[in-house]
Amino acid sequence: MLIKKGAEANLYLEDWHNRKVVLKQRLSKEYRIPEIDEKIRSQRTIHEPQIIHKAKEAGVPTPTIYMIDILDATIIMEFVKGKQVKQILSDLSDKERRSLCRHIGNLIGHLHTYGIIHGDLTTSNMILTPTGKVVFVDFGLSEHSIELENRGVDLHLMKRTFQSSHFKYAKECFDAVMEGYRRFMGEDVTKDVVGKIREIERRGRYISAR
């Protein structure tokens, strides 16, 4: 059953060896030369599970990978039970919402410390499980980097997500995320990242004004 249709890949909910799983299949692009298309899809099919495993080593909950088919550009992974943070954020009390966002910020700090840039930090890609665990999913755009620019871009997207999808709580939520991030990363690193986020925002305003 198709559960998400994306630009790069489709997600299907399947039964696999009596287990509910998500099958992620990377799509072929007709505009690419077939040999290059196959190489790109294969590389990304290998890369994503590797970075998911590294995120798990960093202490960030991620889906378990069960199988990789490089030729078919598919990944079979754990179906994480729970709800997207996007779906439940507005239903929480102020205290619960701030606590959740601080925890998310702490997990982002874990990723960045291990040189992982998620690349798509949105509340749609974070699952809150019935046990209260936050699981990060969809590492399809992730990369290895410790560059300040990439950390800033990662968190800038998180900020934009709050502003577009959770406008009423945007400042409160992002401030809490950065508080959790600061607790893990320290004041100096966080100050540099905040400065980079502001620089990215200024760039965006400059481009829009041109």
Which tokens hold the place of 130?
Answer: 């019935």
- Cβ-in-10-Å burial (0-12, 13-18, 19+) of 18 comes to exposed
Which residue is catalytic, options 120, 154, 175, 192? 120
Q: What is the DSSP letter of 31?
A: T
192 is catalytic: no
Q: Helical H runs in 114-169? A: 148-165
- Cβ-in-10-Å burial (0-12, 13-18, 19+) of 41 comes to buried
CA distances from 146 to 153, 154, 157 (A): 12, 11, 17
Residue positions annotated with a catalytic role: 120
